[in-house]
């Protein structure tokens, strides 16, 4: 897989694994050609469905991680719904039944934040204290 995409994916995959969300099969593909230098791949679900993800190599590493986090989150919603689990991944520790966290960049770090309060819950790749049922 292309290096920048692989580096941006690594922390988000750790978050999936930590929260016991099934990991996708990842296949390099060059479907994203509308952005110069973009690196892309396809995520494959256990049911055989796939979705494309990509990273813009022209932005900071933190922005790349948050960008991939946002896209993986969309994939996780669908994967969790297909297995009958709650789709609010990763769950907001302050509002676990209301909404998931959102990926953002703050102080040059990719973080998961509460969308209601803006409070940072975790860096992407470090959701060890968060649980997902």
Residue 42, both tokens: 């396809």
Tell me the pLDDT of the chain (133 aa) as tens digits.
Answer: 789 999 999 999 999 999 999 999 999 887 777 677 799 999 999 889 999 999 999 999 999 999 999 999 999 999 999 889 999 999 999 998 889 999 999 999 999 999 999 999 999 999 975 544 4
Full-model pTM: 0.90
d(CA 121, CA 130): 9
C-alpha distance across the termini of the chain, in Å: 31
């Amino acid at each position: 897989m292309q290096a920048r995409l692989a580096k941006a994916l690594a922390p988000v995959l750790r978050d999936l694994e930590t929260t016991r969300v099934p990991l996708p099969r990842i296949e390099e593909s060059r479907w994203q050609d509308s952005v110069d230098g973009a690196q892309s791949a396809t995520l494959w679900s256990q049911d055989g469905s796939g979705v494309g993800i990509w990273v813009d190599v022209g932005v900071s590493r933190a922005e790349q991680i948050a960008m991939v986090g946002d896209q993986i989150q969309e994939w996780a919603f669908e994967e969790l719904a297909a297995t009958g689990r709650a789709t609010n991944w990763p769950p907001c520790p302050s509002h676990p039944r209301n909404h998931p966290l959102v990926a953002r960049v703050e102080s040059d770090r990719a973080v998961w934040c509460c969308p209601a309060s803006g409070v940072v819950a975790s860096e992407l790749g470090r959701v060890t204290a968060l649980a997902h049922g």
